Amino acid sequence: MIRDLKYQSVTLANFEEFPQIQKLPERMRKDIRVVAQVLPFKSNSYCVNRLIDWTRIPHDPIFTLTFPHRDMLEPEAFDRIERLLDDNAAPEALKAAADEIRLSLNPHPAGQLQHNVPVHEEEPLEGMQHMYRETVLFFPSQGQTCHAYCTFCFRWAQFVGMEGLKFASREAQRLAEYLKARPYVSDVLFTGGDPMIMKTRMLKEYIDAILSVPSVKSIRIGTKAIQYWPQRFISDDDAQELLALFRSVRAAGKHLAVMSHFNHWIELSTPEAQAAVRAIQDTGAQIRTQSPLMKRINDSAKTWSKMWQMQVEAGMVPYYMFIARNTGARRFFEVPLVRAWDIFRDAYKQVSGLARTVRGPSMSALPGKVRIIGVSEVLGEKVFVLNFLQARNPDWVDRPFFAKYDEKASWLTELEPAFGEKKFFYADELRELLEDRSGWSPQASGDPDPVIPEEILAP
Ligand SMILES: *Cc1c(COP(=O)(O)O)cnc(C)c1O
Ligand code: SF4
């Protein structure tokens, strides 16, 4: 049964007003108060009332996903903030300490700020990133927040309002111009925050601008609204308008893909989420699913196979399993690469081919999306076999390469080339590519004479 529920955010300012929270031990509530000074924290009435099983605290995955935990900070950092709170320190002192700790948490992993912001007609386009030839990422300025925040999220730096760290763009027309000048871009991916936080009429501005570019074939919207606020698609004031907007993409002969962030099958288990999925599908849009793998939330093969199975049953297409990025509270959620591969393989072998559209486990790293194919032994040396699912130079994609086996490594930067080699095959080219700031271009891809498929060039 779909229950009527008013949206209410749950934050540091009001979380202790909720009866479920009042039943938690004071130590836990205090931990939340301390950590929330540093890492952004936002849950909402739907998560609290419909998703979290309060009999399972502290082990409930959705609780862990949206509420801070003391181990998300290093003990020294935690103590420092706790002391400031206990001493009723001035807000400025608290903020200064919090900012300092945040800077130590790698707020912009994988060179997001320096390397991926394109330049068009000599002006940086701050609301965009263009790392792979076919796909431009767009961050609409009105979509820079979410219905709730994930505690692991690499976008956390955007939510805490640190100076100069926020991506934003009000310029739908600039986006369209940029795209028109680059006919090899077939996809625009709206991201955020969560673009579905925007009112429909705002989103429509952007979508309509993109529909005017013939060479763009697919519009993708990255969102966690099905999970955190399915009412967006079924009962919000402008839900029907939103669905009509989705239908208009299809009517214009383009593909609309909702890239839906699932962390756990629980998020698909409510009638509201199921109804949202059906409403989106009825517009002709496709839903593809992706999630990072995280300790304490979804680090078991059973959780993944069940999640993929349920997604396929609901007509969705499993797309990516990510390794959590090296930022924020990552250590709290960290899963070593070898274990990530184990979980992926173990889950993958339990599902039918319809769910094996999923790819992973994959790291969104500086050179591209690197997938762990597996662990193998070559000439007596134990190695990781890797390849690129996406790369700054498209020519790197799908070439197997090898790293020394390392049981503890949990990110690409912790790996070393195998067989005594000094660097990975892409290292020199990558250095050159990073010097260019014009966004992806044939010249900047490191391939002086790229073969661009004709169907991409011909609008
Ligand atoms: C993942 C990603 C994309 C999309 O890649 P696909 O493989 O086409 O899904 C585009 N840009 C960036 C920066 C990404 O990280
Ligand atoms: S919904 Fe997405 S963007 Fe928002 S906090 Fe979660 S992972 Fe980050």
Q: At what angle do helices 239-251 and 271-281 cross, to 10 degrees?
A: 30
For residue 190, what are the β-bridge partners? 138, 221
pTM of the full structure = 0.90
Domain count along the chain: 1
Contact between 391 and 398 (Cβ < 8 Å) = no
Residue 28 located in a structural domain? yes
Q: Write out the residue range of the structural domain in which residue 50 sits.
A: 9-103
Q: Which atom of ligand 2 is nearest to the CA of 227?
A: 1
Of all residues in the chain, the percent with pLDDT exceeding 70 is 88
User: Between 354 and 327, where is the model more confident?
Assistant: 354
As a residue count, the chain comes to 459
Which residue owns the Cα nearest ligand 1 atom 7? 390
Q: Is residue 46 in a domain?
A: yes
User: With a 6 A CB cut-off, is 191 part of the ligand 1 pocket?
Assistant: no
In angstroms, rounded to a whole number, what is the distance separating the alpha carbons of residues 187 and 136?
Answer: 6
Is the Cβ–Cβ distance between 285 and 256 less than 8 Å? yes
The pLDDT-based confidence of 454 (bands split at 50, 70, 90) is very low
- 51 in a structural domain: yes
Q: Note the pLDDT of residue 292.
A: 93
**Ramachandran region, residue 296 (left: φ > 0; alpha: ψ -120 to 50; beta: rest):** left
- Per-residue pLDDT band for 327 (boundaries 50, 70, 90) equals low
Position 34 in a domain: yes
For ligand 1, atom 12, which residue shows the shortest CA distance?
131
Ligand nearest to the CA of 366: 1
Interval 110-134: pLDDT, tens: 555 555 677 777 777 778 888 899 9
Report yes or no on 1 lying in a domain: no
How far is ligand 2, taken at its centre, from the CA of residue 106, in Å?
17
Average pLDDT of the chain is 89
Residue 47 lies in a domain: yes
Does residue 32 sit in helix, strand or coil?
Answer: helix
Distance from Cα 222 to the centre of ligand 2, integer Å: 9
Residue at 378 is within a domain: no
Handedness of CA 151, 152, 153, 157 (dihedral sign): positive
Residue 40 counted as domain residue: yes
